[in-house]
Structure 1
Amino acid sequence: MPTLAELLTEVAGELYALEPAEFVPARDARAAALRADGEEDAADRVKRLRKPSTAAWVVNLLARAEAEQVEQVVELGAAFREAQDDLDGKRLRELTRQRRQLVAAVAARARSLAVEAGATVSDAVLTQVESTLTAAMIDADAGRAVRSGLLIGPLQATGIGRADVASAVAVPDALGIAPVDDEGAPARHLHAVPDLPGARSGRRRKGTVPEDDAAATAEKEARDAARREAEQALADAEDDVAAARDAGSAAAAEVGRIEGIAHRTDAERDAVRRRLAELEEEASTVDAELRGAVVARQRAERTLADATRRRDEAAARLAEVVPRTPR
């Protein structure tokens, strides 16, 4: 029987391998199936999984299709951090150059994969992909998150403090990624401390909850469930808005690109039309010259025929008047 963390990682891996449009229906169906199997905790966690942003989906696609390239990114990041620790300036400069080249190449490959899958990746999304790959080099947790293929949002790291990776990955606890507080340190998890025996004289014993309290508890649970459902619906709507905004930006960029092509095509077509008119005029002139040349050739042929005929006649008359010389 898999643990909750193992189950969540397995389900998240299936869901985040889907295209963004397929995510929410598949997530809700999987949560319903888990609930029907009595896996309430797992169902609640799966239901709260967030739809990935376009940039996160592109990086997840890269992590699955080009795992070796992602591993190169993470390994170069480890070497970069080691050079930082050693204060090796020369090595840092060399690694910085390599980092920029590798990030640009891997991001371009990610964009190609997305285009092959039928998606449009705007320059803004590509910038987020590059930022995420850079974060994977700078921060160890970010590298682990990128390799997992379970990102829900892009990452950004400055190298000062820890990156907020937990909020950008689907199951951070299952991946061993702790959230960070405002100062960039791991957040402390607060635990309720039970009352000491006798600390509350009015405390009721277990099993003696009045009906009014039971009704109030049930009402509170119903309100909490409704609130969680509303929060999830809002989160899904926000994800859809973000995805639509990305799609709108990508569509606008595509319109601009195609308009540029259309302008160039119109200019080339006009130039071709002008050249065609010039060629037609040249062709008319050549046709006229050709007709004149044909007439001249025919006239010359008739003149040649007449001259040849006269020459032959003159030769015949000469032969008649000049006697043949005996041998």
Structure 2
Amino acid sequence: MAGDPGKSAELLEIADELYALSPGEFTAARDAKAKELKGTDLATAVKALKKPGIAAWVVNLLVRRESGQVDQLLSVGAALRDAQAAMSAGELRALTKQRRQVTAAVTQQARHLAAEAGHKVTQAVADQVEATLTAAMVDADCGRAVRSGLLVAPLQTTGVDAVGEAALAAALATPEALGFSASAREAPEPGPPSLRVVPDPDAGAKARAAAAERLAQAAASYDEADAAHAEAVADVDRLSARSLQLQAELDELRRRLAELESELDEVDDELGDAEDVRDEAAATLRTATAERDAAQAALDKLRR
């Protein structure tokens, strides 16, 4: 199949149609298509297409319904990757925060699209969707995989190491998907109104508005907490540096004190010796003075 461009293109066209369906429709549609192609190489390839997991389906839905937004996200990711090499640690933290804000906002949009399509997205699935979008921003190959709209499993990257070929292949419906771009799809027209009582027709809008408000409040709280944390980290770094400086000064003072104590001991010893010499000299001086005075007295007596 990989060596036949025509068949590969046809398989991708079929896959594009199948992966645009809801999870509940996928298996029956795939099997029907494989049966239609029975006896051809395509039949086997179509039958081998895996049903996407919920997180992968949500990302595929986002790519088809909001292709422009996804293209913008991938463009921002490419620009950030180009700028990352020259960034400082502080700029990298800001970059990570910017990525998180972008992927969180787009993930929220994906959840809305899934809800409109009749599928509630749990927080665990939303986390996988956001991890996939983050991988698409960080890793170029992941970005191409996401843009294909043919994911069967979510993607994840540490942001340091690239996603391996095996992991990337396992997340795609077919190897030919890498580099393919899913067709944009409009939301289906709403069906006839249901004959059931709806207590509050604006309940969904109100719930989304309340959720959006909670998200805005949580984002504001996060920004405040992040700023406080950054300030605390800066204080710890500053005080740690000052502590090391004072410790070095204290060590130098202790060394100097030891030198002075040793020098003091030597001076005390020399002082004791000098005092002994002084006392001996004083005694000799007293004796010489007495002898001088006696001689002077004798001389004075003779002169009289």
When normalised by structure 1's length, the TM-score is 0.50
The one-letter code sitting in structure 2 at the alignment partner of 1:33 is: E
Corresponding residue for 1:107? 107
Cα distance in structure 2, aligned partners of 1:176 and 1:148: 7
| Number of aligned positions between the proteins | 175
Cα distance in structure 2, aligned partners of 1:81 and 1:89: 15
Residues 83, 91 of structure 1: 8 Å contact kept: no
Corresponding residue for 1:239? none
Q: Which piece of structure 1 moves more, 162-171 or 49-58?
A: 162-171
Corresponding residue for 1:22? 25
Residues 15, 27 of structure 1: 8 Å contact kept: yes
Corresponding residue for 1:49? 49
Corresponding residue for 1:129? 129
The one-letter code sitting in structure 1 at the alignment partner of 2:157 is: A
Residues 148, 177 of structure 2: 8 Å contact kept: no
Residues 12, 176 of structure 2: 8 Å contact kept: no
When normalised by structure 2's length, the TM-score is 0.54
Corresponding residue for 2:152? 152
2:175 pairs with one of 172, 181, 193: 172
Cα distance in structure 1, aligned partners of 2:98 and 2:159: 17
1:5 pairs with one of 3, 8, 32: 8
Question: Sequence identity of aligned pairs in percent?
Answer: 57
Q: 1:74 to 1:46 in 2, by over 3 A?
A: same
Cα distance in structure 1, aligned partners of 2:35 and 2:100: 44
Residues 31, 47 of structure 1: 8 Å contact kept: yes
Cα distance in structure 2, aligned partners of 1:90 and 1:66: 32
**CA apart distance, 1:73:** 1.7
Residues 57, 151 of structure 1: 8 Å contact kept: yes
Q: Is 1:81 aligned to residue 81 of structure 2?
A: yes
Residues 152, 169 of structure 1: 8 Å contact kept: yes
**CA apart distance, 1:76:** 1.8
Segments of 5+ residues of structure 1 without an aligned counterpart are 178-327
Corresponding residue for 2:96? 96
CA RMSD after TM alignment: 2.1
Residues 8, 174 of structure 1: 8 Å contact kept: no
Cα distance in structure 1, aligned partners of 2:135 and 2:121: 20
Segments of 5+ residues of structure 2 without an aligned counterpart are 181-304
Residues 148, 179 of structure 2: 8 Å contact kept: no
Cα distance in structure 2, aligned partners of 1:118 and 1:95: 35
